[in-house]
């Protein structure tokens, strides 16, 4: 999943932002599942919504709503077919590589 030489920096405000949103349990479960799938350059490892729904025991429509909410709150963003955590809250750095 993560490269051994990659570091992720989480903005210290992210937990407070998340708590202030009063997310539902499903939103939290989706968010934490996505955080567990973070890979190179903030990319979230691709997973189909139906598979994610099965994994956290909810409906595909709940997953879709949660992803939309996380996008609207600028925690994640969609680029083409992939989701990424916004650099506003999570940044990645590969050791020895200048950005």
CA nearest neighbour of 6 among 55, 51, 31, 41: 41
Q: Which CATH class is domain 6-94?
A: mainly alpha
| 33-83 per-position pLDDT tens digit | 998 888 877 888 888 999 999 999 999 999 999 999 999 999 999 998 889
| 33-46 per-position pLDDT tens digit | 998 888 877 888 88
Q: Please say whether the beta carbons of 87 and 42 come within 8 A.
A: yes
Residues ≥6 apart with Cβ < 8 Å to 57:
none
CA nearest neighbour of 81 among 35, 36, 49: 49
- Domain map (residue ranges) of the chain: 6-94
Which pLDDT score, from 0 to 100, does residue 33 have?
93
Cβ-in-10-Å burial (0-12, 13-18, 19+) of 14 comes to middle
């Amino acid at each position: 999943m993560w490269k051994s030489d990659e570091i992720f920096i989480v903005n210290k405000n992210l937990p407070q932002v998340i708590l202030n949103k009063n997310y539902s349990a499903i939103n939290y479960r989706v968010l934490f599942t996505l955080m567990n799938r973070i890979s190179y350059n903030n990319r979230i490892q691709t997973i189909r919504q139906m598979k994610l729904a099965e994994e956290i025991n909810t409906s595909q429509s709940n997953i879709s709503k949660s992803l939309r909410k996380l996008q609207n709150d600028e925690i994640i963003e969609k680029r083409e077919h992939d989701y990424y955590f916004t650099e506003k809250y999570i940044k990645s750095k590969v050791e020895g590589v200048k950005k």
